[in-house]
Structure 1
């Protein structure tokens, strides 16, 4: 299996320059439109690979507003899939067009040489993408990543948009952070707990279980479950009990870009998370469509309104 190049910025000497193959990754925010943006450059050689991603993706939000959320979500998932494909198949992943996701495509393959595969990716991203800023300062690069809207789970915002179109009153019960489309701070910086939806009948946190980087997703989901448990314990003294539920978006397991290994990882993760939610006394729901998640939320609040 191939391994990614180091993320360090120390450049090797010229006589150790690396030759590799690279291809741009295109995002089309409007399906059916020829408009597209370069969101990454994928570089691969016999010894490793590197994906240089756009670090100014928030510019799409300036252009498209909330309509950018779906495209950003597609880009996030597609680049994770590309990472897995490059690790498993190297150059063949570029040749075969590893990305199979609406609005995200691979461009033509070219050959290049630079002091490192990372530098090759940075060079071409600087030349090709309006969503990228080359910055040699590691600290500033880290800050860019923290402020990049593509680095967060966009599921809560997508569900909010769906619910708002059907029932604005229910939509108003999403957290203020989600409703104002602000990036949520890291959990280590929050003194209290984080709840996505706080309704009359249902309290829910929403999260995506990716088919790649599953371990990281599981860790994030468990933190959201812990917040739900704390909220549930605080609700213990209320006269009317509310359901406390973790709701996951999981990709359909029979689509082309999910392989058998990824399917097994998702199944294992779902089993582990379901068991933990049961042990904690929390509801657990895994659905494969945003409108199904939105429908669950609307139904919970609508049934409560009819009974009061």
Structure 2
């Protein structure tokens, strides 16, 4: 049981399982693939309900063959969210009641597993060592070492690098945490879109890129199954970036990313 969808003619809400770390008990290393499939299912269902309304639930068209939509029921509650959360608490063993958590469940998991993405800081340090003048193009929270929320729950738009030629966010696609990595990267893509749309004229002068560190093909630390999931995840992220008219740039190391940033900004400086 991975989710509950609540909808009427006025709106909808999809509440998804938020304790996917428990999948490891059943699937071990394959849990990341299952979690990624759940994430794809959630995205597709939200888009489908947004287009077809209640019909998307009554006449479901799941993205994946292994997904089934359960029986439809009528319900009442204070809000769509309250109804969905109540059913998830009753039906799903992959759901945590966040109201009983001292802080958000996905943030607790992230902190426990140490998944706060250090890539932006590593790229900043690499660039600064080679071009001190580009240091101020990095965001103030990176320059000042302030801790970021890793869950993306804040509505603040975060941009890692805002140069004269390049606007970029950085994210790590982890072989051992694909579903969670994809969610974070999607949020950073959204931040880039918001930043670009604030100033359409700027979009004509500066490249807007989501730069990803992803394991190289043939990496001995990545299993065959993980490599398949990584390829699927990159394809899905590239499709989303294309829809938003943004550039998704996968690179395999901090030096590669840093050199790309330096090359684009140095080209502008030389004009």
The two structures have a TM-score, normalised by structure 1, of 0.52
2:175 to 211, 214, 222: 211
Residue 237 of structure 1 is matched in structure 2 by 201
SS of 1:151's equivalent in the other structure is coil
Residue 161 of structure 1 is matched in structure 2 by 125
Structure 1 residue 192, shift from structure 2 partner: 2.7
Distance (Å, rounded) in 2 between the aligned partners of 1:275 and 1:219: 14
Distance (Å, rounded) in 2 between the aligned partners of 1:301 and 1:289: 19
1:283 to 215, 238, 247: 247
User: Aligned Cα RMSD in Å?
Assistant: 3.4
Per-residue deviation, residues 222-262 of structure 1 (Å, max 9, x unmatched): 11111111111112034952110000000123122211100
Structure 1 residue 160, shift from structure 2 partner: 0.8
Distance (Å, rounded) in 2 between the aligned partners of 1:197 and 1:171: 9
**Retained in 2: the 8 A contact 1:235–1:241?**
no
Distance (Å, rounded) in 1 between the aligned partners of 2:257 and 2:115: 22
1:262 to 222, 226, 229: 226
Residue 269 of structure 2 is matched in structure 1 by 305
SS of 2:248's equivalent in the other structure is strand
Compared CA separation, residues 305 and 192, structure 1 to 2 (3 A): same
Distance (Å, rounded) in 1 between the aligned partners of 2:232 and 2:262: 29
Residue 225 of structure 1 is matched in structure 2 by 189
SS of 1:190's equivalent in the other structure is coil
Structure 1 residue 145, shift from structure 2 partner: 6.3
Larger proportion of strand = 1
**Retained in 2: the 8 A contact 1:149–1:183?**
no
1:84 to 29, 33, 37: 29
Structure 1 residue 217, shift from structure 2 partner: 1.1
User: Unmatched 5+ residue regions in structure 2?
Assistant: 1-19, 33-100
**Retained in 1: the 8 A contact 2:110–2:116?**
no
Aligned residues: 184
**Retained in 1: the 8 A contact 2:196–2:203?**
no
1:194 to 140, 158, 165: 158
Distance (Å, rounded) in 1 between the aligned partners of 2:31 and 2:149: 31
Distance (Å, rounded) in 1 between the aligned partners of 2:103 and 2:214: 33
Residue 184 of structure 1 is matched in structure 2 by 148
Compared CA separation, residues 233 and 252, structure 1 to 2 (3 A): same
User: Unmatched 5+ residue regions in structure 1?
Assistant: 1-5, 9-46, 50-82, 88-137
Residue 139 of structure 2 is matched in structure 1 by 175
Distance (Å, rounded) in 2 between the aligned partners of 1:146 and 1:284: 24
Structure 1 residue 187, shift from structure 2 partner: 5.5
Distance (Å, rounded) in 2 between the aligned partners of 1:200 and 1:261: 40
SS of 2:193's equivalent in the other structure is helix
Compared CA separation, residues 199 and 141, structure 1 to 2 (3 A): closer
**Retained in 2: the 8 A contact 1:152–1:183?**
no
Distance (Å, rounded) in 2 between the aligned partners of 1:140 and 1:237: 40
Larger proportion of helix = 2
SS of 2:170's equivalent in the other structure is strand
Distance (Å, rounded) in 1 between the aligned partners of 2:128 and 2:113: 21
